[in-house]
Amino acid sequence: RNESIGFFLLIFSFFPITIMKYIIAIVGSSHASAEMFIPYIRNIVKPYIGVDGFSIVSGGAKGADTAAKMVAEELGITIKEYLPDYKKYPNWLDAFRARNQLIAQASNEVWSLALPYSGKKCVHCERANKDITNHEKTGGCWTGSMKGKWNVIVCKKEEEI
């Protein structure tokens, strides 16, 4: 029996594995420039830099999703983008919903970057009884609602800072 344990340990010393991966989804508004979201995303990922197994998933859209990719590339963080599959889902809304469900399933937590409220409150946060509804509706919050737990950062446009 001791020989079996020794053999097991010998095998794992040649094939190290990462026991746990931590994946965050960074998604949100496409109604502002990617550059606007970069400082917010740097702050989100800062605690995870250098953590083995850490990566980002996003949706590949303009705005917050593009900023997630830019920050990941800048900091050497692995990123996987889930793009809408228009061949499988010809209706654009179905394609986006399917993509967002994949993002939610692939992540441990969701960060939604939203713009301040300007006429359309976030119905996704409202339905979930989140105390933060002071931002525009965004697909990022819908993605978070699929996960059941999500963080919202209300980002100010450059001219509002």
Average pLDDT, consecutive stretches of 10 residues, N- to C-terminus, the chain (161 residues): 48 53 95 95 95 96 97 97 96 95 96 86 85 82 88 78 44
| C-alpha to C-alpha distance for 97 and 80, rounded to whole angstroms | 17
Using DSSP, state whether 115 is helix, strand or coil.
coil
Closest CA to 83 of 100, 106, 67: 100
pTM value is 0.82
Predicted confidence at residue 118, as pLDDT, reads 75
pLDDT of residue 3: 52
For residue 86, the model assigns a pLDDT of: 95
